[in-house]
Amino acid sequence: MLSIRNAGIENIPLIRKLTLAIWPQTYSSILSNEQIDYMLDWMYSPASLQKQMDEEGCFFILAYDEEKAVGFASYNQSAPQIWKLNKIYILPSQQGKGAGNFIMSHIISEIKKTGAKTLQLQVNRHNNAKQFYEKLGFKIIDTADFDIGNGYFMNDYIMELTL
């Protein structure tokens, strides 16, 4: 039985544990090990996660199957009526079992309460998750390359779901 719990500063160690179990496997065929390490430190260090929660207005949620954490997501309002999905990650052993759909349904339900009209996200152009988002109704609205420092770029599609 899947459930969602709001996450806070006290959950940063769990979010990091999930990230380290998910990220390398997800991105090893797309990014170099050096870029993966750089991005993990840049986006998932305890200080970075705390800043996202405290200063950047990001909501973090954890997905549980019974009492086992199986994934997490982060989202925030980026403009009036526009929200952004920043992260959604599911343990590889749990992918394809409905957790991603469960998390997305929860997020969409929550942001609709605020009057949201669209949900946007960025996905690496070579990430298989693109097909997951397309099945949910997301459409590519742009292609962008983001310089993230240290000579690395995020080569992404920007996708949008009209709510």
Instruction: Give the domain CATH number at 135.
Output: 3.40.630.30
Q: What is the residue range of 134's domain?
A: 2-162
Q: In this predicted model, what pLDDT tens digit does every residue of 114-132 receive, in sequence order?
A: 999 999 999 999 999 999 9
pLDDT in the model for residue 25: 87
Tell me how many domains the chain contains: 1
Has residue 20 got a pLDDT over 90?
Answer: yes
What is the per-residue pLDDT for 75?
98
pLDDT of residue 16: 97
On the question of pLDDT at 52 being above 90, the answer is: yes
Average pLDDT of the chain to the nearest whole number: 96
In this prediction, residues 107-120 reach a mean pLDDT of 98
d(CA 101, CA 136): 8
Average confidence (pLDDT) over 69-87:
97
Global pTM? 0.94
139-149 sheet: strands from edge to edge: 2-7, 59-65, 68-79, 82-90, 118-124, 152-162, 139-149
